[in-house]
Every structure is written in C-alpha cells, then in structure tokens.
Amino acid sequence: MTTPEPWPATGPRLSDDDVEHADAPTGSAGLNQPWRAAVAGIELVVAVGLALAAWWSWRQGTVTIYLPGPEGAVDVVTRSIGSWLAAAVGAATLAGLLLLDAIRQLALALRARRRESNGV
C-alpha cells in the first residue's frame, strides 16, 4: 500500500526559512487602533442613556393608588405594569452589556498602545 506525498510532485517545495516565516504576521492589524477609544466613548454615552431610560421605565411601571378605607383610613395599593418593568429590565441589561464592552474596548486600546510604545 502506498501513501500519497504531503505535497504534489509538480507543486512548489518550500524551504525551511519559508516555513518558519509563514506564521509571522505581515502587518500591524492588531489591537492598536485609535477608533477603539471613540467606540468606548460612544458606548458609554449610550449606556448612560439606557440607564436613564431604564429608571424612567421603572417609574412608569409602578402606579400607586390611594383608596378610602374604613373609618376614614387610607389604603395604599401599588400596581405593577409588566410591559414597563420588562422594558426597564431590558434597557438596564443592555446598558450593562454596553458598559462591559466599553471597558473592554478601552482596555484593549490602552494596552496595545503601551506595548507598542515599549517596542514589544
């Protein structure tokens, strides 16, 4: 039984130097890109806006009703509106995810610049 060669008989043969340098990156398309800081800033602004929207939606989702009770007392009933509370939870969750991604973008941008300036 014969086994095929790892390269075709008529194909190019690579030298040891070519094989060693084939895995080396050819450009600087790494983490150091200046737009990462801008993306982090935009995500922070949107996260703050979503946090404010979540707070506003939560306040819209709870309604307090004052009812007259026996002998002149006042009964307080608090009702919850599920759609407003769900919107508040969704906005808060999205704000948290954007905050985490903004921290990640900023850390990658700063770390990449520091390493590049040290010559690494």
CB neighbours of 38 closer than 8 A, spacing ≥ 6? none
| Mean of all residue pLDDT scores within the chain | 81
Delimit the domains of the chain by residue range: 35-118
Place of tokens 């009703």: 65
Identify the top-confidence range among 5-14, 60-69, 83-92: 83-92
Q: What are phi and psi of 76, to 5 degrees?
A: -110, 125
pLDDT for 114: 47
**Nearest CA to 92 among 55, 42, 63?**
55
Number of helices and strands in the chain (H, E): 3, 2
46 vs 37: which has the higher pLDDT: 46
Q: Name the token pair of 56.
A: 């506003």
**Nearest CA to 86 among 60, 113, 63, 119?**
60
pLDDT digits (tens, 9 = 90+) for 13-36: 666 666 555 555 554 556 667 788
